[in-house]
Chains A and B, each alone.
Chain A
Amino acid sequence: MRILTLSNFFPPDVVGGYEILCAQMVTELRRRGHVVRVLTSTPRIPVMNNDRDEVHRLLRIDETADPLLLPTDWRATATRSFIVDSHNVELLRQEVEDFHPDAVYISNLTGVGGVAIALGIEMRGLPWVWRLDDAVPLRLTGLGVEGDSSFARLFTHLLPGSWVASSQGLLEEISEGGGALRGKVTVVPNWLTGARPPGRATWYHGQGPLCCLSVGQLVWDKGTHLAVEAIARLSDEGYRDVTLDILGTGPERFGLEAQVARLGLSGRIRFHGQLPHAEALRRFETADILLFPTATREPFGLVALEAAVHGCVPIVTAGCGITEWLVDGVHLITAPRDAAGFADALRGVRTGQIDLAAVGRRAQALYPDFHVSRLAAPFEAELEAARIAPREEAASWEDIMRMARIGETVAYRLLHPGS
Chain B
Amino acid sequence: MRDMRVAFTTPATFEEVSGGGERYVLNLARGVARASAGAVEVEVVVPGERSSRQAVDEGVWLRSCRVEPSTVGYGSAVSWELIEAALAADLIHVHQVFTLLGESMVLAARGSRRPVCVTDHGGWVSTAGRELGLLQLADAVVAYSRFGAAALGTSQPVAVVEGGVDTRFFSPGEPERPREHVLFVGRILPHKGVDVLVRACPRQLRLVIAGTAPDPEYLEEVERLARDRSVTFVLDGSDEQIRDLYRGALAVVAPSVYVDLRGHFHAHPELMGLTLLEGMACGAPAVCLRTGALPEYVEQDVTGFIADDEPGLGECLAQLAADPARGRRMGSAARERVSTAWDLGAAGSRLLDLYRQLVVA
Assess whether B132 is in contact with A405, with CB atoms less than 8 Å apart.
yes
Q: Which of B71, B78, B80, B108 has the most CB of A within 10 A?
A: B80
List chain A positions with a Cβ less than 8 A from chain B.
119, 122-123, 145, 148, 150-151, 153-154, 157-158, 392, 395, 399, 402-403, 405-407, 409-410, 413-414, 417-418
Please, what's the 1-or-0 string for B130-145, where 1 marks a CB less than 8 Å from any CB in chain A? 0011101100000000
The answer, among A153, A417, A418, for a CB contact under 8 Å with B80, is A153
Is there an interface contact between A406 and B107, defined as CB atoms closer than 8 Å? yes
Residue B37 CB within 8 A of the other chain: no
Contact of B134 with A406 in the complex, beta carbons under 8 Å: yes
Chain B 40-83, CB-CB to A under 8 Å as 1, else 0, gives: 00000000000000000000000000001011100010111101
* Complex Cα gap A322–B110 (Å): 39
Please, how many angstroms separate the alpha-carbon atoms of A399 and B116 in the complex? Answer: 14
Listed A/B pairs (14) with beta-carbon separation below 8 Å = A148-B68, A150-B68, A154-B80, A157-B84, A392-B113, A395-B110, A399-B136, A403-B110, A406-B106, A407-B107, A409-B132, A410-B104, A410-B128, A413-B76
For B72, list chain A residues within 8 Å (CB).
417
Asked if B182 is an interface residue, CB under 8 A from chain A, the answer is no
A150-B80, A158-B108, A417-B72 given; A406·B113 CB < 8 A: no
CA separation between A158 and B106, bound complex, in Å?
13
When each residue 96-139 of chain B gets 1 if its CB lies under 8 Å from chain A and 0 otherwise, what string results? 00001001101110111100000000000010110011101100
Nearest first, the 8 A-B pairs at minimum CB distance are A150-B80, A409-B128, A158-B111, A150-B81, A405-B132, A151-B80, A406-B132, A417-B70
B87 at the interface (CB under 8 A from A): yes
Assembly CA distance A158 to B129 (angstroms): 21
Neighbour of A123 across the interface among B80, B81, B111, B136, CB < 8 A: B111
**Alpha-carbon separation in the docked complex, A123 to B112 (Å):** 9
Measured between beta carbons, the chain B residues less than 8 angstroms from A406 are 103, 106-107, 128-129, 132, 134, 137
For A120, give the chain B residue with the smallest CB separation. B111
- A-B contact number at CB 8 A: 73
Whether B71 pairs with A414 at a CB distance below 8 angstroms is yes
**B78 CB contact (under 8 Å) in A119, A123, A414:** A414
A202 CB → nearest B CB, Å:
57
A150 and B84 within 8 A (CB): yes
Q: Are A119 and B81 in contact (CB under 8 A)?
A: no
Please name the residue on chain B nearest to A400 by beta carbon. Answer: B110
What would 13 more interface pairs be, CB under 8 Å, given A157-B112, A392-B113, A417-B70? A150-B79, A150-B81, A154-B84, A157-B87, A158-B111, A402-B132, A403-B137, A405-B132, A406-B106, A406-B132, A409-B103, A410-B104, A414-B78
CA distance A102 to B29 in the complex (A): 45
Nearest-CB distance from B20 to chain A (Å)? Answer: 27
Q: B84 and A153: CB pair below 8 A?
A: yes
Q: A122 to chain B: closest CB distance in Å?
A: 8
Query: Are B71 and A417 in touch, CB under 8 angstroms?
Result: yes
- A151: chain B residues at CB < 8 Å are 80
A156: nearest chain-B partner, CB-CB: B84
Q: Residue A410 contacts which of B70, B87, B103 (CB distance < 8 angstroms)?
A: B103
Q: A148 contacts B80, CB within 8 Å? A: yes
Query: Please, which residues of chain B bring their CB within 8 A of the CB of A153?
Result: 80, 84
| Complex contacts, A417 vs chain B, CB 8 Å | 70-72, 76
In the bound complex, what is the Cα–Cα distance between A53 and B234 (angstroms)? 74
A154 engages B108 (CB within 8 Å): yes
Cα distance, A405 to B132, chains bound together (Å): 7
Bound together, the chains give a CA A399 to CA B100 distance in angstroms of 19
A164 CB → nearest B CB, Å: 22
Contact between chains at A402 and B133 (CB < 8 Å): yes
Task: Give Cα distance in the complex from A151 to B66, angstroms.
Answer: 13
Q: Are the C-beta atoms of B111 and A119 separated by less than 8 Å? A: yes
Chain A residues positioned under 8 Å from B110 (CB to CB): 123, 395, 399, 403
- Looking at the assembled complex, report how far the CB atom of B17 sits from the nearest CB atom of chain A, in whole angstroms: 23
